[in-house]
């Protein structure tokens, strides 16, 4: 039996997140249906992470096991013939039997986008956080710099999926501005539930003077969610990088 990894992308605006739910349409459900139809057998589709309702993925990895003989270079086109317009497959590779899209992941990058303008852009309503009050990029950058490194991130996560540890390592957390668009890029070995959105919300609070950017180490040490800023809305969040060893890693870098 083959183990196949596929690179996909999706606009999450029309879905209740990645993971299959009983009463809501999710990305995993739609992708599993398309894959099962292509390979002519029911399959389980494993995703590289749980994105919430309204969150997007520019790069996302799935894997499934199947006896199909379809060559990998034909799979994306076959899938795209069945997938809706807001989900697409761009590449596929055969991987080792023990490869698992989430368990084999070495790290992920998320990008968060804020439209910092006095005027709303209707084309970005579901793709960026519209924030009309002027934000100071230097303060935002100083705030997020305190998250870099190995810390207990309990103060910037929401109650959700249980985890053995709330300690994670952030490799980089960068802020840039292009016109009215402010972008945050953060890479870590793993993320807690709503962690990125809570860190962005905390940085925005610092820029607005509702907390001091240099208080963030103390906030992290407290492990108290109420001391940090709010959870930023989902539409600004994108998964933009997923790292693996081997063929899947090469595919995700292409």
Class of residue 120 by CB neighbours under 10 A (exposed 0-12, middle 13-18, buried 19+): exposed
* Alpha helix stretches (DSSP H) within 45-108: 75-80
Q: 184, 175 in Cβ contact below 8 A?
A: yes
189 assigned to active site = no
Of the residues 11, 52, 91, 243, which is catalytic?
52
Cα–Cα separations (whole angstroms), residue 127 to 31, 108, 122, 123: 21, 20, 10, 8
Token readout for 184 is 């945050």
Q: 89, 33 in Cβ contact below 8 A?
A: no
Distance CA 152, CA 223 (A): 7
Sign, Cα dihedral of 81, 59, 64, 73: positive
Question: What is the gyration radius of the CA atoms in the chain, in angstroms?
Answer: 19
Q: How many Å separate Cα 125 from the centre of its chain?
A: 18
Chain position carrying tokens 């190995």: 150
Cα–Cα separations (whole angstroms), residue 176 to 2, 72, 120, 183, 231: 42, 37, 20, 5, 20
The residues annotated as belonging to the active site are 52
């Amino acid at each position: 039996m083959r183990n196949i990894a596929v690179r996909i992308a999706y606009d999450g605006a029309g879905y209740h997140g990645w993971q299959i739910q009983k009463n809501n349409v999710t990305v995993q459900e739609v992708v599993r249906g398309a894959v099962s139809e292509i390979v002519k057998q029911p399959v389980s589709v494993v995703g590289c992470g749980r994105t919430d309702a309204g969150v997007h993925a520019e790069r996302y990895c799935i894997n499934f096991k199947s006896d199909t003989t379809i060559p990998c270079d034909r799979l994306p086109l076959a899938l795209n013939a069945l997938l809706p317009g807001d989900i697409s497959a761009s590449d596929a590779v055969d991987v080792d039997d023990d490869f698992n899209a989430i368990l084999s992941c070495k790290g992920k990058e998320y990008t968060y986008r804020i439209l910092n303008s006095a005027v709303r852009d209707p084309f970005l309503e579901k793709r960026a956080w519209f924030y009309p009050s002027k934000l100071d990029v230097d303060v935002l950058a100083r705030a997020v710099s305190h998250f870099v490194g190995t810390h207990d991130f309990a103060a910037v996560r929401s109650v959700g999926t249980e985890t053995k540890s709330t300690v994670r390592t952030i490799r980089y957390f960068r802020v840039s501005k292009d016109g009215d668009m402010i972008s945050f890029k953060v890479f870590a070995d793993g993320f807690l539930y709503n962690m990125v959105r809570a860190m962005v919300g905390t940085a925005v609070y610092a820029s607005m003077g509702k907390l001091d950017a240099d208080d963030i180490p103390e906030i992290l040490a407290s492990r108290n969610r109420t001391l940090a800023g709010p959870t930023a809305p989902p539409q600004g969040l994108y998964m933009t990088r997923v790292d693996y060893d081997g063929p899947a890693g090469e595919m995700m870098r292409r």
